[in-house]
Amino acid sequence: MKYICFLTWLIGLAVALYAGPKLNVVASVPDLGDMAKRIGQDKVEVVVLATGREDLHAVPARPSFLPKLNRADLVLSLGLDAEHAWLPALCAEARNTRIREDAAGWVETWPGISVLGVPAKLDRSEGEQHPEGNPHYNIGPQCGPVMAGNILQAFSVAAPQYANFFKDNAAVYTGELEKLLHELKEQGAPLRGVTIIDYHPDVPYLCDFYGMQAVGSIEPKAGVAPTAGHLHTLEETGKAKKVQLIVYNQSQNPKIPRQLAQRISCATVEIANAVGAKKEIRTWAELQRYNLTALLNALRTGQGDR
Ligand SMILES: [Zn+2]
């Protein structure tokens, strides 16, 4: 009996060794980490840099990021300059040629998404944070399957021996996402036609999915603080367009949204800008459900989070 147990253990060990090393994946944000784990499962080692509570444009760089990036086979990021202020410099400092911006290991998950807010010309003057179009597609439910597809593609190229395994996992996952999208669309029907103002312009994909209309942003340009004049104009617009909700996220100061909401006489609502923004948001699917619930509650009560 002992001999059989030993033999079984030996065969298990041989299979594990034959399977080869895991793919080392670093995800810039927890949204991509969640998807990477679902698709890669036990064939990938996933580490995530941001906690999800931060402003995605300004994640504080920690010394612990460098060894993680140094070992990485792939770095997954939202791209479109979402992580421009912190990730490329860290990758360069990590001394790993596999994950330079021009290398195969640098993977952005936006290709295939209809990018919104693409400016006529690239311009980072005045601190514009969206020079290549709006990068906050991770909170748009419709973008999930495309993001997952890009991760599948990158994994299959980096570790072709597991391509079928990744493909099967991705098929199950995207099936779940399609079902989720259907549920969200049904439950989110009351949001159709609702007018909103956002803080940082980070909800256009969310608006697109639910049929909400954003009539302005507290920041006159992404990353630029509002002036008194801009807020006055926004108040007038908000009243004229009968704005119902002012939407901000957990990384933003609620003071200005609440003051503006009082002047316009509407509700405020705090949503989450990423997985991990709240402790109960552990997966990308939970992020979408959390935001829908927050929006519907604010709309129904007219009180928002005040
Ligand atoms: Zn932004």
Span from the CA of 82 to the centroid of ligand 1 (angstroms): 6
Tell me what the pLDDT averaged over the chain comes to: 92
CB-CB contact of 212 with 190 (8 Å):
no
Q: Residue 87, Cβ neighbours under 10 Å: how many?
A: 26
Structure tokens, 210:
């639910």
* pLDDT tens digits for range 195-221: 999 999 999 999 999 999 999 999 998
* pLDDT tens digits for range 259-304: 999 999 999 999 999 999 999 999 999 999 999 999 999 999 876 5
Q: Kindly give, in sequence order, each residue whose CB lies less than 8 Å from that of residue 299, ignoring residues fewer than 6 positions away.
A: 190, 191, 194, 244, 245, 267
| pLDDT reported for residue 17 | 41
Span from the CA of 122 to the centroid of ligand 1 (angstroms): 15
Span from the CA of 34 to the centroid of ligand 1 (angstroms): 21
**b/e map 33-55, b = 16+ CB within 10 Å:** bbbbbbbbeebbbbbbbbebbbb
**Listed residue (170, 171, 165) closest to 20, CA to CA:** 165
Please name the helix (run of DSSP H) or strand (run of DSSP E) that holds residue 118, with its range, or none: none
CA dihedral (261, 53, 282, 70) positive or negative = positive
Phi, psi dihedrals of residue 305, rounded to the nearest 5°: -105, 15
d(CA 204, CA 209): 9
Span from the CA of 67 to the centroid of ligand 1 (angstroms): 27
Q: Which residue ranges of the chain lie beneath pLDDT 70?
A: 1-20, 122-127, 303-306
Query: 199: number of CA atoms within 13 Å, CB side?
Result: 22
| pLDDT reported for residue 9 | 44
Q: What residues form DSSP beta bridges with 48?
A: 27
| pLDDT reported for residue 120 | 75
Span from the CA of 10 to the centroid of ligand 1 (angstroms): 52
* DSSP reduced 3-state for 106: strand
